[in-house]
Amino acid sequence: MQKYIIFIISILCFFSCLKAQETTSEKESLKDKKVLIVYLSRTKNTKTIAEIIKKNVGGDFVELELQTPYPENYKAIVDQVSKENESGFLPPLKTKVENIEKYDVVFIGFPTWGMKLPPPMKSFLKQYDLKDKIIIPFNTNAGYGIGSSFDTVKELSPESKVLEGFTMKGGVERDGILFVMEGKKKIETEKKVREWLTKIDLNK
């Protein structure tokens, strides 16, 4: 009986160690990948997180812009985005990403709009072939969280590997609170971003 127990423990240890080795080798391989950071930012909070990621990881840096920009008025953009979400309309992008095939890791950053993934980011995920790439979402929101946005990223990237995302409370545009990623808030954000990047083993 004792020999049997020792045998079972040995088998469990073997598979546990094997899994740990696979995870380690997978993480280590990520450090040699070509990185693209794509972001959508209305009040520059998401842009600040994108800049922090670039500072820690490197890579190329692209801001999503539309052929027809959204209105400046908050209520007007809320109404327009709501209609786009209901109809499934994908706004055409002004931004062009050259040679998307050369990238292995794609960070995609966006605010939460109406508890959903913003239509421009849906346009990006639909327009570009990200098959077999590693996708990493990051987000700012008004305190209500990511909503269904991260799930939508996974749905629109069925042949990509989507890693654990990052989210942080930004401004509350509805209340007129816009850019907040400065001073102590920025220091706190930098610390949390580094911790997240270390967790997914993409920090330098």
Q: What is the pLDDT of residue 51?
A: 97
Where do the H-state alpha helices sit in 31-110?
A: 45-57, 74-87
Q: Average pLDDT in the 162-169 region?
A: 96
Q: Is the pLDDT of residue 17 over 60?
A: no
d(CA 193, CA 50): 10
What single-letter DSSP state applies at residue 181? -
Q: Is the pLDDT of residue 40 over 80?
A: yes
Residue of higher predicted confidence among 17 and 115: 115
d(CA 189, CA 22): 31
Q: Is the pLDDT of residue 82 over 60?
A: yes
Q: Average pLDDT in the 112-121 region?
A: 96
Report the chain's mean pLDDT, rounded to a whole number: 87
Domain chopping of the chain, boundaries: 33-199
Q: Are 91 and 122 in contact (CB under 8 A)?
A: no
Report DSSP letters for 15-61, one per residue: HHHHHHHHHHHHHHHHTTS-EEEEE--SSSHHHHHHHHHHHHH--EE
Q: Is the pLDDT of residue 201 over 80?
A: yes
Q: Average pLDDT in the 24-37 region?
A: 67
Find out if CATH 3.90.1150.10 is the number for domain 33-199.
no
Q: Is 153 helix (H, G, I), strand (E, B) or coil?
A: helix
pLDDT in tens, 124-162: 999 999 999 999 999 999 888 999 999 999 999 999 999
Q: Is the pLDDT of residue 33 over 60?
A: yes
Residue of higher predicted confidence among 33 and 140: 140
pLDDT band at 174, cuts 50/70/90? confident
Q: Is the pLDDT of residue 108 over 90?
A: yes
